Structure 1
């Protein structure tokens, strides 16, 4: 199975287990369709394609970067398909991910091109993403950072953590410092899905940033929890209303959040 995450966790109450279940149920269905309305980029990832990226990234995180369960990862990335990959990779390894977190207090940092200087405050491993179309690398790698696009292709397509990641493991640090366990992330994702009205087969368009729970839920976690999918849009405010309406129609959007 492409991007196999079997063995990630024996429990069902974790984000990684949700992804493993989605692979078993319908690996070919779309999970994330990403638009960047500043560049015109569109990327569509099936469950299988997304899981393959997650497995490779989790292997990079656990292996080459030496991350261990309980380590803190400051994620300085916008709402982007690669940000979603890093979230699930961190959940899969037991690393606590802090979207928008302070890199000075983190064990490692993952950053986009606009936050490189802030990310230098991290004294641990530093990974940079160019956020170019098709996951392209930096034309010139930033000094002091590993280029994700260079490092991830050679990673293995199957992932298993060194230690099981259960529902009680710390997983997500929210703005303000509250830390949710993996099981709490799943419970809140299901609750957010109910609030949004999502069900199996729903397709939610989200223009919300990943720096808040609402953005994380609408842009990844709630759809994943209920076998739905997301149309994740960056720079959505650059899109004229008539083009947004056409997108909603062409992508068969059933729900919107921040759009």
Structure 2
């Protein structure tokens, strides 16, 4: 992964994601999107290689919905422990959510305050630390977004799994029209498994030593979001899906083989019967002679 330091750009933002009141001078909002390609006009903040080539770029308008985008509120200040400031930033990160129902993460690190939720993050720190914190938040958000993609795709797969599981034990002629569909689902599971293998090393990589501000924030976010445990749970689910659809494949192949063997047996029987009839005809003709 390569990181490129670039100056931050201030934009004019829509009211629904505008700056909250009471922020220090210099506070700004940045929109970041994770794209497979970037044109020359876009500022590239970070580059990722796994599980697919991707760039984190600044965009001039509202970012895409997570996990494809991230909107950050950067607040440079020397008074990082101001409770009113933290409350305002948190209300921006999770707008309209009562305090008791908030699910965002609050990380306090070396005086900085980082509030993160899927798609939004607020960074409260001294100006010289914001770039390092921004890189860490972008890095974590990318891999958290990939985990959420897995979770979304797996949630869609469960209803199909419940309907397909009986075919792993019994496959008959009525199930034959579903054979191609089952094969596509198995291929999809293998594709997810391949993506997971690519992302796992980055998620489970050991902490950087000596630790930096950015590396410590990444580790805190991974720990608080239970990212490694989620990846492990995804792996368990994929293992189950893979076994079920592999068994479906075996049963369908066995059914096709059994059908072919039955056809061959009938062909042999018909040939033998034909040969027997021909022999009888020959015998009857010989007896008349």
TM-score (norm 2): 0.24
Q: Give the structure with the higher percent strand.
A: 1
Higher relative contact order (CA 8 A, sep 6+): 1
Q: Give the structure with the higher percent helix.
A: 2
